[in-house]
Structure 1
């Protein structure tokens, strides 16, 4: 048989590709979607200034953006109070996590993370040829930091901490992080994913850049998708030691963020009041949604994100289906729980009506 047409000679993916799980999606259904509460997006559109900046950037779309995102890095350096050599940017914090693993994870070595946590973590680890090492959450649905520290062995290259944790919303404070870092060998990379840091309650909120000097193995991952309402423009950044940033930059593409994303992010950094208004709306929406869910007799984890976790176990699919019938999409983790994004005007009331109808059987 001609080798050109022989199916046994066609390109084959790496053996580990078959192990990569599929990123989940909201439940399909015939009912039109009235509220999309499944993706932890901001409920409000970007500001007029951001839209204008993006429009201007697209008018010069025939030109490449600044090499390495240097203009965005300069704005971020001023914003977070760190030298430009300690910042790298990319098309979302998830993309930067992939590049971190590509730079620091040896094939077959382990990455320790909590579970359940962000569902992309095992995808990233397996994509980069590593071995996932998931550590069960504590009874309160937060990270079991003691168990995670104990899970680190000689083949562990990376530990990922999601704070606040997605999808459960639980967070830990500065003291807990300090204690954990003190127990991690200095050659192990610790990635602190802070995608939801802006929504953390005041008793647990802290500025993690203060840990970088004492712990040069620490990396902070942050995003413009949530509090800055730029999810569709794909912008994220990391803050770390010069050595870590240099290693990541070696594998990053030369133009890691599109010009429109750069323009949006730089403009957003100059509008802190817009971010603050969005955060306040989310916190108010989280409180309102908590009241609705508790009144309906549902278990709710007192989270710190722009979402709430409803740990219903086997009954999770029923709740997700009820809400989908009412035009409300949520993220179902079958057999575990339901995550519902908060902050959109009218959403809590719509959920309350849907649950009331379910209760009465109307």
Structure 2
């Protein structure tokens, strides 16, 4: 056992030296955990921001002016007036996301107790902005009409006083969500790519034959690649959380970083094994990249990091329980967002351990077959 651990340690040092000698991979790691996290967090926003609004005002009353005056930045750009005949053309051209149309005698109908209709045309190409923006505009219109009818700009009489308390992200800032999720997704991507690339690099450089004549076993070679590349990814993820997320983006991390690191180590044992498994079916980096692409897309998009698991079909939710990324995302969100402790996240950790063992032994069996073929 001591000789096995010694061989694993020394082979891991060889992997770290190989990685240090590859400037392309080093640049990729730095980019993925720095600029990629920052650019996605600040650029891919889910909330409404600077949405373009047009309006057709056939009433030109104080009430319509009041409603239009309440549509303000930063959610919306100042509304621009168009004619009724321009609605279809501006919507088709994508010039405006929202177009409001006020009918004639709108204010008079409101004051007389009738229920006039306001037409809201929405460009739903951008679904998140369209859905959230429509809700915001409806709230603005209802609030301004209620104030106008009651004559009270400060308070309005409501039958129910609904108090909303937003936990974990009080300002509903998408940067808090997307920055952390980007790091979690990047851990998956690099875990597969680095370990797979390490095996492909052995073949392309001809060093796989050197390993075959050394007194080492396939398990020692595989475990060495896993711990060396996993160490690099864990260190990069911790630095990204500290420098990019907490310092640059000023996103608070609610939970325990050491507990998150423990879960990440368990997760890395499975996805790094998956990377080696995929690499055994290929002979070059282009082949490995093409084979890894659909696997990574499915693991990231259907893991719950982009859309909630509850929004997926039940059969797909059950299938994705076999993916370690699903449990890692649930584990990470519970700790980093909601300050969950070990008493809450231990089921996900147990599943990750089980899946890691399955992926490891499958990859090891396939790796032994590959080594025997090369021999």
Q: TM-score range by the shorter chain?
A: under 0.3
More helix by share: 2
**TM-score in terms of structure 2 length:** 0.21
Q: Between Structure 1 and Structure 2, whose CA radius of gyration is higher?
A: 2
**TM-score in terms of structure 1 length:** 0.21
